[in-house]
Amino acid sequence: MAESKKLSYEEARDQLAEIVSKLEGGQATLEESLALWEKGEALAKVCQDWLDGAKAKLDAIRPTE
């Protein structure tokens, strides 16, 4: 999912929330649900990468005790 790498944290989070809502709705076929799940996994990774990057930046500027 190359296009997800260009997403901001907020964009990825919002898309992930939409996918969760669709899956919880239970109206998708099994095939559609699997595709949504895979896209959701990729979006969750994008979100985690953003959070890990932010944490690394904070850790780098935080004074050591």
The tens-digit pLDDT sequence of the chain (65 residues) is 555 458 999 999 999 999 999 999 999 999 999 999 999 999 999 999 999 999 999 999 988 76
Instruction: Give long-range contacts, CB 8 A cutoff, 24+ apart: 34-39.
Output: 39/1, 39/15
> What does the alpha-carbon distance between residue 8 and residue 62 come to, in Å, rounded to a whole number?
24
- pTM of the full structure: 0.82
Give the max Cα distance, the chain. 54
